[in-house]
Structure 1
Amino acid sequence: MSTAIKAGRPGPRAWLVMIGCEAKMVARDTAGLIVPIGLPLLILVMSASSASDQIVANGRTALELYVLPLVLTIVIATTGIINMPSFLAYYRRSGILRRLAVTPASPVMVLMAQVVVSVIQTVIGITAALAVASLAFDAGPPTHLATALGVFVLVMAAMYGVGLIVAAVAPTPNSAVAIGLVAFFALGALGGLFGGRDALPDALVTVGEWLPFGASVEALGAAWAGAPTEPAHLVSLGATTVVGGAVAGILFRWE
């Protein structure tokens, strides 16, 4: 009996096929491709001309310390909070997850494949932003490269944690996009999405730094500047990952 069950489990080929199908679904979603990659690049190009000439600290420009961290955070957040939940809500709404629950290709495979494709999409967006910033505006790499890579991974985990909560509570794909947009702009507004946070009350500035968007921008900026990363920012991102996964696990329904 155990041998038969084991033989029926999906192997590496099945996982590759599932990931390939998810990639095709994402590629057909034109808006889902333009927003996470095109919008951040537009913000980068519009801000880089003036920011690349402003030396802020340690020979680093405003482009490297402020604009790039913001742009990279937007790439990760739009993919994790808006795009991914809409696909998962569509699969649940259409009954795909319920039907997969009685086959060897369990719904978990769909979730994992969607996460893998979202990570690939995020990496493409980040690579495009870094290439444009480097080739067109002479932006340099992070002073603490290893720290920046670690922060990238933590930020992706945190934003996907938020996205899983959105997918868990949204009954339809349209509502997933709507809830995701509200969450994205709410987190972004307190994290510097619409400019410097100096105009905000001190209490909101503090709250913004504790939320994942602001913590991401601050942590990436520190990595570029070669400054120590604030533990509070790492705690914020780690806590968001844990809480997001736990809440989504409790609330998520396959149908």
Structure 2
Amino acid sequence: MSTVIEAHRPGMRSMLILIGAETKMVVRDTAGLVVPLGLPLLILLTSASAAGRTEIVNGRTALDLFVLPLVLAMVTATIGIINMPSFLAYYRRSGILRRLAVTPASPVMVLAAQAIVSLMQAAVGITLALVVATLAFDANPPVNPGAAIGVVALTMAAMYSIGMIVAAVAPTPNSAVAAGLVAFFALGALGGMFGGRGGLPEPLAEIGSRLPFGAAVDALSAAWAGTAVEGGQLLSLGITVAVGATVAALLFRWE
């Protein structure tokens, strides 16, 4: 009589081990670890003194309303659009996803573990920026913290959706980094990363405010000021999540 051995799907312990392995990979990638944390901090340090301490609304200064939202958007964008896709492209290129597909473990577990580690890295970057801004420049917390947390979460989802499109179409890790950099700087430039949107031609400034980076900066600024976040900004981020997830699902290949 033949014995049938059923394969059991990995449980939570396996997922935790995979998250630990992904964390080690991120930590060992020096550039991928330093840039998302260091570049926003550099922008913060160079812009904070110029922002001034004049109160603009509800006791919040230009640092609170313009610099901090920009820095937080940069943290999530660099991790979601540049870092995460390069890891996924490497796993596909090296055949890891294909080999996982024939084991009880699912390649989806790798995607989930990488997303969780990316979220952890973004949380570290955001916390570091807020701590430095508060201790060194007396930055103020958002008037509406609930709205700020919600916007940050939606911004993360939007940036990671864009990153999944990059991961879906990039054949190699280097091409994923290159495509991610192009997308990051294009969205950032239109969204006010290089001196605000006031210096852009009006049509480009309007487009930038509707794209996810600009919408995230404006929505975070509103949350810090305690004013209502515009529905158009939330709609922009929500559409980015929906479109990005759909396109990535249609184009993504495991090998």
TM-score exceeds 0.5: yes
2:88 paired residue number: 88
The answer to whether the aligner puts 1:98 opposite 2:98 as a matched pair is yes
Q: Quick one: structure 1 residues 215 and 4, their matched pair in 2 at CA, closer, same or farther if it must change by over 3 Å?
A: farther
Q: Per-residue CA shift, 1:88-108, capped at 9, x if unaligned?
A: 000000000000000111100
1:177 paired residue number: 177
Q: CA deviation at 1:55?
A: 2.6
TM-score (structure 1 length as normaliser): 0.97
Flag as ranges the 4+ runs of structure 1 deviating above 4 A: none
Distance 1:118 1:48 in 2: 27
- Give runs of aligned pairs for residues 125-144 of structure 1, distance below 5 A: 125-144=125-144
Q: CA deviation at 1:50?
A: 2.5
Distance 2:196 2:204 in 1: 12
CA contact (8 A) 1:212 1:236 kept: yes
2:189 paired residue number: 189
Distance 1:236 1:103 in 2: 39
Number of equivalences: 252
Q: CA deviation at 1:175?
A: 0.2
For structure 1, which runs of at least 5 residues remain unmatched after alignment?
A: none
SS at match of 2:244: helix
1:36 paired residue number: 36
Distance 2:42 2:54 in 1: 20
| Alignment-mate amino acid for residue 98 of structure 1 | R
| Alignment-mate amino acid for residue 88 of structure 2 | L
Percent identity over the alignment is 68
TM-score (structure 2 length as normaliser): 0.97
Distance 1:16 1:145 in 2: 30
CA contact (8 A) 1:170 1:176 kept: yes
| Alignment-mate amino acid for residue 191 of structure 1 | G
| Alignment-mate amino acid for residue 12 of structure 1 | M
| Alignment-mate amino acid for residue 239 of structure 1 | I
1:166 paired residue number: 166
Distance 1:151 1:209 in 2: 15
The answer to whether the aligner puts 1:224 opposite 2:224 as a matched pair is yes
For structure 2, which runs of at least 5 residues remain unmatched after alignment?
A: none
CA contact (8 A) 1:52 1:137 kept: no
Q: CA deviation at 1:60?
A: 1.2
Q: CA deviation at 1:210?
A: 0.9
Q: CA deviation at 1:57?
A: 2.4
| Alignment-mate amino acid for residue 241 of structure 1 | V
Q: CA deviation at 1:4?
A: 6.5
Distance 2:234 2:184 in 1: 19
1:72 paired residue number: 72
Q: Per-residue CA shift, 1:36-65, capped at 9, x if unaligned?
A: 001101110111122142332232111000
SS at match of 2:53: coil
Cα RMSD of the aligned pairs, angstroms, is: 1.2
| 137-146 or 48-57: bigger deviation | 48-57
SS at match of 2:171: coil
Distance 1:164 1:10 in 2: 24
1:62 paired residue number: 62
Distance 1:53 1:4 in 2: 69
CA contact (8 A) 1:52 1:139 kept: no
